[in-house]
Amino acid sequence: EVQLVESGGGLVQPGGSLRLSCAASGFTFSGYWMHWVRQVPGGGLVWVSRINSDGSTTTYADSVNGRFTISRDNAKSTLYLQMISLRAEDTAVYYCARGAPGDSVWFDPWGQGTLVTVSS
């Protein structure tokens, strides 16, 4: 079974840091682009970042560029999101998702999400 399990969320003060992890299983992790997408509770989805299969290419949404860093360890089948200089508006559930193969663009499956709360 293809599965993604996020961890690392929690309560952090404004200006603080947090590292999220996403453990993958059931598929060849090193063969896929991976993504982070966030959702404000009760709100819409917002794409955050992506990384290619070998980790050599990364892209970020403007809202997090320069503060978040996406990375992966293919030997451990794990995706990461390092977040620094956190702001109240970064409060959300963070999902990792597997990207589409080839040239298409879609996300499947998604992890169960991990909640990040930025508050003093």
Partner 1 sequence: QSALTQPASVSGSPGQSITISCSGSSSDIGDYNYVSWYQQHPGKAPKLMIYDVSKRPSGVSNRFSGSKSDNTASLTISGLQAEDEADYFCCSYAGRSTFVLFGGGTKLTVL
Assess 47 for contact with partner 1 (CB under 8 A): yes
Least CB distance to partner 1 at residue 61 (A): 8
What are the phi and psi torsion angles at 92 (to 5°)?
-175, 170
Least CB distance to partner 1 at residue 11 (A): 19
Whether the Cβ atoms of residue 107 and residue 2 lie closer than 8 Å to each other: no
Assess 38 for contact with partner 1 (CB under 8 A): no
Assess 113 for contact with partner 1 (CB under 8 A): yes
Least CB distance to partner 1 at residue 60 (A): 9
Q: Classify the phi-psi angles of 113: left when phi > 0, otherwise alpha if psi is within -120 to 50, otherwise beta.
A: left
Least CB distance to partner 1 at residue 46 (A): 7
Among the listed ranges 19-27, 66-74, 84-92, 109-117, the one in contact with partner 1 (CB under 8 A) is 109-117
Whether the Cβ atoms of residue 73 and residue 53 lie closer than 8 Å to each other: no
The residue type of 76 is: K
- Please give the Cα distance from 39 to 93 (Å, whole number): 5
Residues that bind partner 1 (CB under 8 A): 43-47, 50, 59, 61, 95, 100, 104-113
